[in-house]
Amino acid sequence: MRVCEEVARFLLNDAALTRRCQRIRYGLRSAAALFPRSSLLKARDSVRDVGRPALRGKVSSHRFTVDLVTANTQRVQEALRVLEEFSRFYSLRQSKAWGAIRFQVYSVEKDLLSKLSSLRHR
């Protein structure tokens, strides 16, 4: 969400969209604080994680800001969906909070991409 916030701030110069991105980012921080962080850290084994990506020789780069915004909002949405699903075992309230934030991200993504598209057509 930080990347989207910076695009709204520096590229689009859109104060309202910047604040929306900030609110989502702060909401993520607040929602994450409800999870028992120490338990999550104990469960992580980053050295032997079977889902750890292999390093590739060629690093892809995002040539366009639209690609950057799309990639980052999709990552946030995927992460929120996972948090929403798994937190149902822990707290229905928490699951609903993740879901609400996810839908805010959908809305911000649409607005960011719309404004970026209009910049391209000027």
pLDDT at 109: 96
- Rounded mean pLDDT, 9-24: 96
Our CA angle for 67, 71, 77, nearest 5°, is: 145
pTM of the model: 0.77
Residue boundaries of the structural domains of the chain: 2-34+64-120
pLDDT reading at 1 higher than 60 = yes
Mean pLDDT of the chain: 87
Using one digit for the tens of pLDDT, what is the confidence trace for 41-95? 887 788 888 888 776 655 444 457 888 999 999 999 999 999 999 999 888 999 9
